[in-house]
Amino acid sequence: MSLSKEQIAQRIAQELKDGYYVNLGIGIPTLVANYVPKNIEIMLQSENGLLGMGEFPSDDQVDPDLINAGKQTVTASKGAAFFDSAESFAMIRGGHVDLTVLGAFEVDVKGNLASWMIPGKLIKGMGGAMDLVAGAENIIVAMTHANKHGVSKILNKCSLPLTGVQCVKKVVTDLAVLELKDGAFHLMELAPEVTAEEVVSKTEAPLVISDQLKTMSF
């Protein structure tokens, strides 16, 4: 059975390590914050100028001056700091963020990803994504395995304008966990009740099936 968005987020949360500074992109990545293991301490960086993003506010805590990069009202957690956009991207570009989780339209075997425009149809803009993928040590892409037409988003070569080159390390989809090693996607984990054959048949890029292949556990 393919994973829900929440389950994708829950699986990614297992990648968090004690002491990490983490930037979560808009969409599925934002949900990762709901599944941070209780026994570790991490800080969420929001590129609009907040280190230490807390949970959503209660009604009477809502403050228009306190939002996250998705423009949602949030709170600041204990030990948080505010700063300007240049400082924020100094943290990002300077490699101080331990993990970046972001969404994508497409990824390919070279570790390239596309996420900011579909020519002639849709322009979201790259926001901070290009800086994040250029700066983070560790990048995980969170997305559905196929687009809404059932077409694989894991490709031999991205067809859309790129956000970054050779930057993706790991992809978590509704069907599988893939790692990019030596120019190929390795199938590392399967969603519960999903077979390796199903993932292979739904993926354009060739997959190396890991000899440590296992089913995800939550």
Partner 1 sequence: MSGLDKVVTSYDEALNGLTDNMLLMVGGFGLCGIPEGLIDKVAATGVKGLTCISNNAGVDGFGLGKLLEKRQIKTMIGSYVGENKLFEELFLSGEMEVILTPQGTLAEKIRATGAGIPGFYTATGYGTKIAEGKETKEFDGRMYVLEEAYPKADFALVKAWKADRYGNLVFRKTARNFNSMIATAGKCTVVEVEEIVEAGELDPDLIHVPGIYVHRVIKGKFEKRIEQRTVKS
Q: Which residues are catalytic?
A: 47
Give the residue with the Cβ less far from partner 1, 69 or 190: 69
- Residue 198 contacts residue 174 (beta carbons within 8 Å): no
Closer by beta carbon to partner 1, 72 or else 215: 72
Q: Do residues 2 and 175 make contact, with C-beta atoms less than 8 angstroms apart?
A: yes
**79 or 150, CB closer to partner 1?**
79
**Which residues of the shown chain bind partner 1 in the complex (CB under 8 A)?**
46-50, 55-59, 62-74, 76, 82-86, 88-89, 92-93, 112, 116, 120, 122-131, 134-135, 161-166
Least Å distance, CB 108 to partner 1, is: 12
Q: Which region holds residue 81: left if phi is over 0, alpha if psi is between -120 and 50, else beta?
A: beta
Task: Compare residues 23 and 203 and give the one whose CB is closer to partner 1.
Answer: 23
On whether the CB atoms of residues 48 and 33 are closer than 8 A, the answer is: no
Q: What minimum distance in Å lies between the beta carbon of 75 and partner 1?
A: 9
Instruction: Tell me phi and psi for residue 199, to 5 degrees.
Output: -65, -45
CA distance 166 to 206: 17
User: Residue 146 and residue 216: Cα distance in Å, rounded?
Assistant: 19
* Least distance CB 198 / partner 1 (angstroms): 33
Contacts with 5 (C-beta within 8 Å, 6 or more apart), sequence order: 28, 31
Least distance to partner 1, CB of residue 215, Å: 31
Indicate the Cα dihedral angle 33, 39, 41, 43, nearest 10°. 0
196: left (phi over 0), alpha (psi -120 to 50) or beta: alpha
Nearer to partner 1, 122 or 151 (CB): 122
Smallest distance, Å, CB 166 to partner 1? 8
Q: What CA–CA distance (Å, rounded) separates 165 from 163? A: 7
